[in-house]
Amino acid sequence: MPGNLSFDALKTKVEAGEIDTVLACLVDMQGRLMGKRFQAQFFVQSAWKETHSCNYLLATDLEMETVDGYASTSWKAGYGDYTMKPDMTSLRLVPWLEGTALVLCDVLDHATHQDVPHSPRAVLKRQIARLEALGLVPMMATELEFFLFRESFDEIRDGGYRGMSPISAYNEDYHIFQTTKEEGVMRAIRNGLYAAGIPVENSKGEADAGQEEINVHYSDALDTADNHVVTKNACKEIAWQKGRAITFLAKWDTNAAGSSSHVHMSLWRDGDPAFYDPEGQYGMSELMRQYMAGLLAHASEITWFLAPYVNSYKRFAEGTFAPTTAIWSKDNRTAGYRVCGDGTKAVRMECRVGGSDLNPYLAMAALIAAGLDGIERKLELEPEFAGDAYQAQNERSVPRNLRTATEAMRGSDMLRTAFGNDVVDHYVRAAEWEQQDFDRKVTDYEVARGFERA
């Protein structure tokens, strides 16, 4: 569902003094909210039409470093403006912040007022439009995992990101007693998101000490991506308010489980699930089989959009519920792509490759593009894998490091056709910089291992 606040309702609340601040946010390459806090009176008078931001916001890394090598913006070009156009259907209350509402913005070229092609929301909207031209609507959901810590963000930072303590002492997967101890944070997250118009289904303990999962009801792809980024931001803000810290790092500790963001997907036509055919294997339609074939054919090429950092690839390890093979199987959590809801109208594909650090707009766009290629070329689905995929021999592997995934993305004709060369080159540059920055840094591992022994 879209935002829960109409413009007229916002104006009424502003006049009544109930809302005094409006957050106008774009989504950056990392999937974070960036923008401005408007005095609400000014927003309803003028800024609801448009505002502006520096165009470096779609050409920085996690540290907000102004990285060179981007064609879209640079010091030479002067780092000009983008236009931020509020999507008023995304307007919502932010109950965990006093007197605050939030709206997501599309990013437009300052001169032409056309979508900036590499802005995450535009990348996804373009792929949605391709499906709509075929009479299809992508319905998706994400399962977002994270770790919750006893300490605050400031305490962990001041401690040099060492010695932090997961909020629980042992594996809490589905564990009610253990998660009861964490309700001070998790209940506030569930209730806050629900009051913000995000249809939360549940939270649960996950497969390690301090690991949590939050599940939001499925929706159309754009709404799901919007809900994902607001959810992620809310989790951090609410944890901060409670004196706790949260990380969405895909692998925060060598000995801890990784955190994922599984993506469930199906296509609908005229309000009915187009992936369902009661006569098909597991209830899968020919359309679903073609879509799945596209996902598998391009699995390596789209991996960067599911795993965008050096750290992301530390998550892919045997026996951890994170996949190491890009194969499909029915209700099999060892496979990279799992068929769920078999034999029912809810039959769908779950991509298990993505980590909690993914940008949902880019991840969903890449998945749609790959699936669409399978539909357009009527690709035949390979045979199902059965058994323990960690023990599979000669099966298609998930790329095991950022360099491999970057090269697969760079060389993908499918992605270049779907996204455009400029968009692919933009994100290739982001991937290159992530690797370059890591390669020049000395890590704790190197110092601890070699300081005395080398």
Output the domain CATH number for residue 204.
3.30.590.10
Instruction: Find the CATH number of the domain harbouring 65.
Output: 3.10.20.70
Residue 172 confidence (pLDDT): 87
pLDDT reported for residue 97: 98
pLDDT by residue (tens digit) across 56-97? 999 999 999 999 999 999 898 989 999 999 999 999 999 999
Q: Are residues 293 and 401 in the same domain?
A: yes
Boundary-marking domain end, from 82, 112, 142? 112
Among 75-79, 277-281, 360-364, which is the least confidently predicted range? 75-79
User: pLDDT (tens digit, 9 = 90+) per residue, 286-315?
Assistant: 999 999 999 999 999 999 999 999 999 999
Burial of 280 per CB tally in 10 Å (0-12, 13-18, 19+)? middle
Let me know whether 143 and 11 are in one domain.
no
Please report, as a single letter, which amino acid is at residue 179: T
pLDDT over 70 (residue 199):
yes
Element (H, E) at 74: none
- Domain co-membership, 76 together with 132: no
Pair (152, 71) in one structural domain: no
**Residue 53 token pair:** 């931001």
Structure confidence at residue 3 as a pLDDT band (50, 70, 90): confident
Q: Does residue 166 carry a pLDDT above 90?
A: yes
Confidence at residue 1, expressed as pLDDT on a 0 to 100 scale = 56
By the 8 A CB rule, do 141 and 157 touch?
no
Nearest-angstrom CA–CA distance, 73 and 78: 8
The pTM (predicted TM-score) of the whole model is 0.97
Q: Which domain holds residue 69?
A: 7-112
CA torsion sign, 46 to 112 to 116 to 67?
A: negative
Instruction: Specify whether the CB–CB gap between 354 and 307 falls below 8 A.
Output: yes
Q: Is residue 121 part of a domain?
A: no
What does the block give as tokens for 429?
A: 């540059």
Domain final position from 86, 112, 138: 112
* 326 and 358 co-located in one domain: yes
Asked if residue 219 has pLDDT above 60, the reply is yes
Q: Are residues 343 and 226 in the same domain?
A: yes
* Number of domain units in the chain: 2
Q: Select the more confidently predicted residue: 95 or 318.
A: 95
Average pLDDT, the chain: 96
